[in-house]
Structure formats: structure tokens, C-alpha cells
Amino acid sequence: MRPKRIEVLGVPVDCVDMSTAVQRVDDAIRARQTLSVLAVNPEKVIKAQSDVTVMRLLTNAGLLIPDGIGVVLAARIFGLGKMGRVPGAELMPKLCELAKVRGYKVFLFGASPEVNERAAQKLRETYRGLNIVGRQHGFVRDDEIPELLDRINASGAQIMFVALGSPRQELWIEKYAPILNVKIFQGVGGTFDVIAGSVKRAPWVFRKMHLEWFYRLAVQPRRLLRQTALPRFAYQVLRRRFAG
């Protein structure tokens, strides 16, 4: 069953929490449906308002997870529906657990050769029995794409995690999903780096307080320009709330 889809500041997002997002993926595989899973956060909402390509990618996605707490709070403020935050970096491990239990086959695509290899090794250690049927780092030339597509199809993978960064990964999924036999595509950004241990997520207390964005900004000041979307998002939410 497809979850309720709402719009936050004109940008679509699905009313799901972690358990319903995982269930949606499981249902799609069982029904042999193709499903692209993309993340929606305040930064992406602001981007989509002015970028028709980003808006198209989100609108056409099969499952839009509320990755940022700002999106969840905005939905509550506007009374649009109930949802829980579903960080992409946490959904991927949940889907690996599902794949282990159900016997689904997994393909890892993206990141550097070293990170890709370490992420695969870590996932196999964490989810004993997880069937990773193929992997490929993200540094692929255009003339190598046909061979990669053939390899993905030959692997029989049902779930593919694409870690190319946004919006490159979303564009890749949009372009190649129609010619692949994979059922679930999740754009996971830098999650391979986190799994491999190359990048650390915010400590638990920051995640619990929904301040992961603040921690990332503190350790990566170069993100400041991107984070300017946060006050713009908050301003738009408050302006529309008090304007009725």
C-alpha cells in the first residue's frame, strides 16, 4: 500500500516512519514493483523550489523518506499528516537486515574503491548471511556503463544502494532504472563512508536531540553555504504558519 504523499512548502514527501518505509520496500519487492527511494530534507526542499530537475526527481520517486527533522516538524505544524524521521543512513542498514532475513540480493554502487570494499566487508560482518551479489565503486567512465549495467542485471540484485552524492545519484537512478532488473534503488549519499568508518556520524546525543546538522557543520565548516537553506526553510514555515 502506497503511503500518503503530502507537500511541504510545495515539495512532496511521504508520510512514513522507519517501519512503514521498510514495509513499503518489502511490499514492492514481493509485488515485483520498481521503487526509487529518495530523501527529503530542508536543504532539498529549498533546492527543489528553484530547480525543476530536483523537483522532477522527487515528484517521480516511488518513496520519499522524511530524512530531515525540519520536514517532520513542518508537516506537524501544518497538520498535513503523521510521520517520523527516516534518515537515509539508518534506512540502508534496516534494508540490509530485511535483505538478510528475506534472502534478497544486494548490489553496492558508489564511493571510492577503498570505501566501497570496506563497506561491503563491514555489511557482511554485521549482517551474517547478507547476500551482496555485486559491487562497483563510483568512478566509472561513460564507456564502462554498458558493462556495468549488464553485470548488475546478471547479478540478480533486487536492492541497489547508489552512493554518488546528490543529485548525481538521483539522476543515475532515473536514467538507468528502466533498463535494470533491480526492484529497489536507494540513493544513500555518503552512507558508504559512514559504514566503512571513513566518516563518523554525529554522536548519539546529537542525533537524539535532532542536532546532527549542527554537529556536521561544526566538524565540516565548509558545509556552511549549504546549511544556509536551514534558516530559509524555517522562515518559510513560520511565515506560512502565522499567515494561516
Q: Beta strand pairing status for 184-187 and 5-8? A: unpaired
Cis peptide before 167 (omega within 30 of 0): yes
**pLDDT tens per residue, range 3-42:** 999 999 999 999 999 999 999 999 999 999 999 999 999 9
pLDDT band for position 200 (50/70/90)?
Answer: low
Give the 3-state secondary structure of residue 52.
Answer: helix
- Beta bridge partners of residue 185, listed in sequence order: 36, 160
Q: What percentage of the chain carries pLDDT values higher than 70?
A: 88
Per-domain residue ranges of the chain = 5-196
Q: How confident is the model at residue 150 (pLDDT cuts 50, 70, 90)?
A: very high
pLDDT at 229: 85
Question: Quick count: other Cβ atoms within 10 Å of Cβ 186?
Answer: 25
5-196 has which fold?
Rossmann fold (3.40.50)
Per-residue cell: 153: 542485471
Pick from 19, 33, 23, 5: nearest CA to 185: 33
Spell out the residues 6+ positions from residue 104 whose beta carbon is closer than 8 angstroms to its own: 29, 98, 131, 158, 159
Find the mean pLDDT for residues 205-214: 58
* 132: number of Cβ within 10 Å: 21
DSSP 199: S
pLDDT in tens, 73-84: 999 999 998 899
Query: Of 111, 101, 113, nearest to 164 (Cα)?
Result: 111
**Whole-number percent of the chain with pLDDT over 90:** 82
Nearest of 111, 125, 123, 118 to residue 162 by alpha carbon: 111
In the DSSP assignment, the letter for residue 111 is: S
Report the C-alpha dihedral over residues 130, 144, 190, 37, rounded to 10 degrees: -70
Residue 116's alpha-carbon distances to 71, 143, 144, 207, 208, in angstroms, are 30, 21, 18, 25, 28
Please name the helix (run of DSSP H) or strand (run of DSSP E) that holds residue 242, with its range, or none: helix 229-242
Cα dihedral: 103, 113, 186, 172 (round 10): -130
Please, what is the average pLDDT of the chain? 92
* Rounded Cα–Cα distance for residues 130 and 135 (Å): 13
